[in-house]
Amino acid sequence: MKKLLLTITLLLYGIITFAQENNYSVVKGNVGEKNVNISIINTNFGVSSDDNGDFIMALPRTDKQVGLLFTCIGYQDTLVSVTPNRDTINLNFKMKETFYMLEAVGVSADKIIVKSDPKYVMFDFEIFDDKIFVLQRKGNSLKECRILVQDLWLDAVDTIIVPNHIEPEKIIVDCTESCQLIGADSVYQVVKMNSSYELMFPAEKERYDKVLKDIIFFTDKYIYFNELQMDGYYSKFFRIGKESKEKEMMFVCDDTKSYRNIGEEKQWHKEYLEQLPPTFCGAFPTPEEWAVFVKVAWFHTKDNHLDVIDDTLYYFDHFNGKILTYDEGMNLLNECEITYPTEEDFWQHKVYKDKAFGKFYTIFGSTVNEIDVNTGKTSSVANANQWMTEKIIIYKGSLYAVTKKRNAMNMFESYIERIEL
């Protein structure tokens, strides 16, 4: 036992020494429980705490924030932000237990409604025709799927049984405002027949994607497109007149510098890891894992967003930090500075539109914020754990989300919730 402890001590000392001598920051500490997974958010790289709750990992030094997600069966997920700009960062805290008390129907607060079904796993949903269409599968089966139709208060009103020959991937409302079940090779439109909903005959998925590729929305006069290149680091917004058939360029976002930076970071990390003794490998992310992290945390695509309410166009220019408002004649009506933190890794890089109420929202950290498009300022309206949420839709003043996680029995448990904003 003494030899084992000595070996472990020397190994940990070796990792720390090597990391500090090679421009890495060592993150270590104790979380009070064994088998806690510690991962860099939005990546697959991570380590686990040992039997004593101790952990250690190495991160390349930077003055930018790195988000670490601590997860463990039976405990609340914990998100910690660190700045790895020094030799050692110590993190010591105790994981908090989670009490799994979900009933088939439960109201956890005046403004929150939660519903689950222990027999089914919810893996996608959409809102269409003032109804919620929840795509579910029975346990781990891919052959026993259904679409549960609920009203906006999460009460079931109908069920669509998905035939066994369909391999459902997701359910969407496309740019034509039609609800579509996307299968492995076909697309099925959801339509209302008399008083119930049904799946129509399939359309070829490849042709469907080709026809609607890059279209973001229609107006009475134009079809609007967003064409992405270089993994989204170069994007072009343009429109085509329905009558004239003429193409009109609107906005271009060129962030190819960030695209190159990712490649440079990956190469730099690879060269350092080539000096790494094999026994240290588990404490350091691979070049591929590091490239994924720097892509989503440091050099994320700017995700500029173009949308419409009535006949007014709103362009969220995250590259230049502005919200621009135009009429359809492209006359500038308003311009304001964006105030939400678009450079931080806790921002979700998404603008949500409540198309019923004509409002815009975004999420950073665990806070849902309404965006004032006239001033660029935001106001906090609710909390939502974006790291554990499969999908979020905001509609008629409420946030709807599907969350899936493992429970204390190590089984997947999923639920849909409605939060009044």
List, as one string, the DSSP characters of 222-291: EEEEEEEEGGGTEEEEEEEETTT--EEEEEEEE-HHHHHHHHHHHHHHHHHHTTS-GGGGGGS--HHHHH
- What pLDDT is stored for residue 21 in this prediction? 52
Q: Please, which residues have CB within 8 angstroms of residue 225's CB and are 6 or more apart in sequence? A: 214, 215, 216, 236, 237, 238, 239, 240
Mean pLDDT of each 10-residue bin along the chain, 421 residues long: 34 47 77 87 77 86 81 79 86 76 38 75 93 90 88 94 93 94 95 93 92 93 95 96 96 94 87 71 73 80 94 96 97 95 73 96 86 94 70 94 66 80 88
pLDDT at res. 406: 58
The reported pLDDT for the residue numbered 41 is: 73
Helical segments of 77-167, H only: none
- The 8-class DSSP code of residue 75 comes to B
Query: 244, 272, 296 — which closes off a domain?
Result: 296
Question: What is the edge-to-edge ordering of all strands in the sheet holding 24-30?
Answer: 54-60, 24-30, 88-92
Task: Give the chain's domain count.
Answer: 2
Kind and range of the H or E run holding 418: strand 412-420
What are the residues whose beta carbons fall under 8 Å from the beta carbon of 261, sequence distance 6 or more? 294, 298, 299
First to last CA, the chain: 57
**What does pTM read for this prediction?**
0.80
Using the 3D structure, point to which of 75, 92, 109 is the last residue of a domain. 92
Asked if the structure places residue 381 within a domain, the reply is no
CB atoms within 10 A of CB 98: 15
Specify if 232 maps to a domain. Answer: no
**End-of-domain residue from the set 296, 322, 351:** 296
How far is residue 58's CA from residue 53's CA, in Å, rounded to a whole number? Answer: 17
The DSSP secondary structure of 282-323, one letter per residue, reads: GGS--HHHHHHHHHHHTS-----EEEEETTEEEEEETTTTEE
> Is residue 22 in some structural domain?
yes
Q: Which domain holds residue 24?
A: 2-92
Would residue 284 count as lying in a domain? yes
If you count DSSP H runs as helices and E runs as strands, how many of each does the chain have, helices first? Answer: 4, 33
pLDDT at 408: 54
Examine residue 65 and state whether it is found in any structural domain, yes or no.
Answer: yes
Q: What is the pLDDT of residue 278?
A: 67
- What's the rounded Cα separation, in Å, for the pair 218 and 347? 28
| Residue (of 38, 28, 44) closest to 292 by Cα position | 44
1 close to 68: Cβ distance less than 8 angstroms: no
Each residue of 346-356: pLDDT tens digit? 677 889 999 99
Q: Are strands 88-92 and 24-30 parallel, antiparallel or unpaired?
A: parallel
Supply angle C-alpha 136, 292, 306, rounded to 5. Answer: 70
Q: Please give the pLDDT value at position 333.
A: 98
d(CA 253, CA 365): 25
Quick one: which of 209, 210, 198 has its CA closest to 161?
A: 198
The number of C-alpha atoms within 13 Å of 365 and in the hemisphere containing its C-beta is 10
pLDDT at position 104:
35
Q: Is residue 109 part of a domain?
A: no
Phi, psi of 410 (to 5 degrees): 65, 30
pLDDT in tens, 345-400: 567 788 999 999 999 999 887 788 999 999 999 998 887 765 557 789 999 999 99
E-strand ranges in 88-210 read: 88-92, 105-109, 112-116, 120-128, 131-138, 145-150, 156-162, 168-173, 179-183, 186-193, 196-199, 203-204
Flag whether 317 is in a domain.
no
DSSP annotation of 42: T
The strand order across the sheet containing 120-128 reads 120-128, 131-138, 145-150, 156-162
Written as six digits, the tokens of 318 are: 């995250």
- Domain-located, residue 328: no
Give the strand pairing for 398-406 and 412-420: antiparallel
Give kind and range of the element (H or E) at residue 6: helix 2-21
